[in-house]
Chains A and B, each alone.
Chain A
Amino acid sequence: MSRKFDPGVAPHFPPQLTVTGVMQQVLYALLPGIIAYTWFFGPGILVQILLAVIFALLFETLMLKVRKLPLKRFLGDWSAVVTAVLFALCLPPLAPWWIALVGMLFAIVVAKHLYGGLGQNMFNPAMVGYVVVLISFPRVMALWLPPTSIASHSLTFGEVLNTIFTGSLSLGLSWDTISEATPLDAIRISLASGRMVSEARQSPVFGDFGGLGWEWIANLYALGGFWLLWRRIISWHVPVMMIGAVVALGLVAYLVDPGSNPVPLQHVFSGALVLGAFFIATDPVTCCTSNRGRLIFGVGVGIITLSIRSWGGYPDGVAFGILLMNMAAPLIDRYTRPRIFGH
């Protein structure tokens, strides 16, 4: 008795990965960092994440409808959620709710879908959203909190919600008393007022290497990043080169002028460098595709970040570095094409 079979094409092999799988693993890898963030700075960040995710999914649904794409398949890829979480992690924990709205509008609608949707966007959506709100609402985006351990007043969850949704502080509180400059801001401010980095570092917001609390968050981001490396979701090229470039150049600057330059490790453990290196610059869509290209990409982001931190108008330059290198990525890809076998 012979039997009929359905034909299929080779390879007859289950795929090893899905886009959804990649996105979910990125989210898992962010968890330790998020937990640490909440531990050091209170529950505000969780609210920001939630808000960003909700707005991202709303805009994503809207755009998929407009573009007549299958909702289930594309909402199910989790890419909008990753964008939202990465964006939220760059916000001050008490930023008003509409920051997430504006950010996600630009991230999902403009940077992602107007560029052609998943896989087509030139710029990292999360960074576009972040830079838009940073430039448009600089004052709101500068209201950071000190770590709860050194805060004069630790906010209750109700006060956090109230601040985020009404945009104003609860009675009896003022931004002057509860907000605190980030370590990068602290350095910038003290340098601007003619003091040395070492003097600035006397401020309680500093820890052993970077900012108090921030250094631990960075460690845990890195932990997640290593896990992604091990899972082969990302390759080592971008994070190593990006952090490497910052450390190398930071070291040169420090050796030349230790008075106005922090020790290089300080750079690594403050701001969004580690988050950016492992989670944002490695975004496949907007990075280079070849490993050689990624080396250049990483170095580029590192150099731009450090330059902006040292001479630019903003305390942190990771977002700008990534966006600028996003622009250069296609060109780098063109010039780093590998030699084909036998050619």
Chain B
Amino acid sequence: MMHIDHAEQARNAGEQVHHFHGGLHLRHNKKISCETPLERTPLPGLLIVPLLQHYGPEAEATVKTGQKVLKGDEIGCFAHLGGGYVHAPSSGIVQAVARRPISHSSGADGWCVVIEPDGLDQWKRLEPLTDWSDADPALLRQKIRNSGIVGLGGAVFPTAFKTDEAIRQGIHTLILNGSECEPYISCDEMLMREEPDSVILGARILQQAIGATRTVIAIEDQMGVVNRALKQAVESAGDDNIKIVKITTIYPEGGEKQLIQVLTGLEVPTGGRPTDLGLLCQNVATATAVAQAVVEGKPLIERIVTVTGNGIRKPRNLVARIGTPISDLVEQCGGYTNDVARLVLGGPMMGYALNSDANPVIKAANCILALTQSDIRPSQVEMPCIRCGECARVCPAVLLPQQLDWLIRNQQWDDAADSGLADCIECGCCDVVCPSHIPLVEWFRFGKSELRSLAVERKQAETAKHRYEARDARLLRIKEERRQRMEEKKRAIKDGAQKQQKLAEAIARARARQDRNE
């Protein structure tokens, strides 16, 4: 049961701006990619579309090699949970369904549908729903689910999963996250600047789909242009349930839990979700994808990607089809500078380093960041922890990183779990401020995965034990039953013998009487 005051506080989300613990003031580096208008990436020679682009199990290919597909055709599907649907980014022939390097933190190859475009870029028959405001919310959610929409902020959680959960739990406020807390990334800012109407439309559709009564759009305090654009879009939409809130730019203010804390002053309980507070959080780009899916009938086949960093000659934002090789995008941005050293998918704080730019653009690819040697940490010279407490000061999850680190290294898993290891959001703040250059986040990722596998093992052991205990009990029961049966039998036999004996005695007595009488 949520506290009454908390419910009230959650309802007032965005009325007041609160703070979260710790965080970092980071240099933005966003301007460099915001100066050129959005541009489309041309159709590549081959589209490599991974089947795992959402949080959850890999989708299964629904097309075969040699098959012709139209733009927007479903080519992969995982129908359970929130669903993971993948669509053809252009029309053409399926050249292969094969394992290819994909940009996934596991580093392993993944199944991909490789499409050779025919150059016609021909859409499948679209089914737009222009009168969405009269539509059944369930139908809207169905559209969202089938259009392969996932959280475009980078977490790629299937949006349908969240909307279904929202319906189950009942929520009042939709929060649209327009604050890109990581440096360099500017795709959402560009989107809100150039397509504010589409963002607002998406917000209204989502709001209807999940039965929320109001929407709060959070943007960074320095996005002046965005603020004006969105305000105007809200005005022309004539919807006064949408509120735009400027929040202070402190990394990681765009993290879901931090954003909610900033807007409501409440903490999402550990292990819980924003829906527990009656809130649903979505990225602004996701809202746009929803708008397109509903009113145009178009599935999610492209996204805005920020291509930036000191390793890129002309940083900018591109609209790229899913499946386009990253090298194509880089080329469109003038190529690499000579001193490029690392290629990152995502931001500098939480992004994932790619080992090749042949990897395709995926739904999670909000940013392609090329860094030079001086941007990244020099070869790690790790010193002992000097207990300075900086890590704890900046930790938005209010953990004690230095202690967690120690516990993990000494394999004290239970203590690490008790100290909130699972609550670490892997934001990297602690890591960046640590004067001893201890790779804290790396340890925490490792520790978290160990905790998870430990939990699985324990569960297995538990079930095994359970089974064992059950078997024991069954054996015992069987034994007991057998014993009972045996005793019954014995009794029965005894009784029978007694009866017979009585009978025999009776007969004998009778005989004796007879004999006497004779």
Contact = CB atoms under 8 A, between A and B. Distances in A.
| Chain A bound to chain B | yes
Interface of A: 1-19, 21-22, 73, 77, 117-120, 235, 284-285, 287-291, 337-343
Nearest to B382: A73
10 contacts: A2-B357, A9-B441, A10-B426, A11-B350, A12-B351, A13-B26, A21-B435, A284-B388, A338-B400, A341-B257
B343 interface: yes
B428 to A, nearest CB: 4
Given A15-B432, A342-B423, A2 B327 contact: yes
B398 A338 contact: yes
Contacts of A19: 383, 386, 435-436
Interface stretch (B156-164, B279-287, B373-381): B373-381
A341 B387 contact: no
A340 B270 contact: yes
Nearest to B266: A342
Interface of A is mostly: loop
Given A4-B355, A11-B431, A19-B383, A340 B349 contact: no
Nearest to A77: B383
Contacts of A288: 389
Interface string B358-377: 10000000000101001111
Contact of B437 (A15, A22, A340): A15
Nearest to B399: A340
B327 A14 contact: no
Nearest to B384: A119
Contacts of B502: none
Contacts of B387: 119, 284-285, 287, 289
Contact of A12 (B353, B390, B437): B353
A160 B466 CA distance: 82
Nearest to A73: B381
Closest 4 CB pairs of A and B: A11-B428, A2-B358, A289-B389, A284-B388
Given A18-B437, A119-B384, A339-B398, A10 B351 contact: yes
B392 A341 contact: no
B386 A119 contact: yes
A284 B391 CA distance: 12
Interface in B161-204: none
B349 A10 contact: yes
B423 A3 contact: no
Given A341-B397, A343-B270, A7 B392 contact: no
Contact of A10 (B270, B343, B357, B441): B441
Contacts of A16: 432-433
Contacts of B437: 15, 18
- Most chain B CB within 10 A, of A8, A119, A343, is at A8
B254 interface: no
Given A4-B356, A118-B383, A291-B393, A11 B398 contact: no
Given A9-B442, A285-B387, A338-B392, A15 B270 contact: no
A14 B374 contact: yes
A239 to B, nearest CB: 15
B432 A289 contact: no
A7 B353 CA distance: 5
Given A11-B432, A14-B378, A340 B423 contact: yes
B195 to A, nearest CB: 29
A341 B441 CA distance: 17
A21 B21 CA distance: 26
- Most chain B CB within 10 A, of A9, A73, A291, is at A9
Contact of A11 (B257, B349, B389, B420): B349
Nearest to A1: B327
Contacts of B369: 12
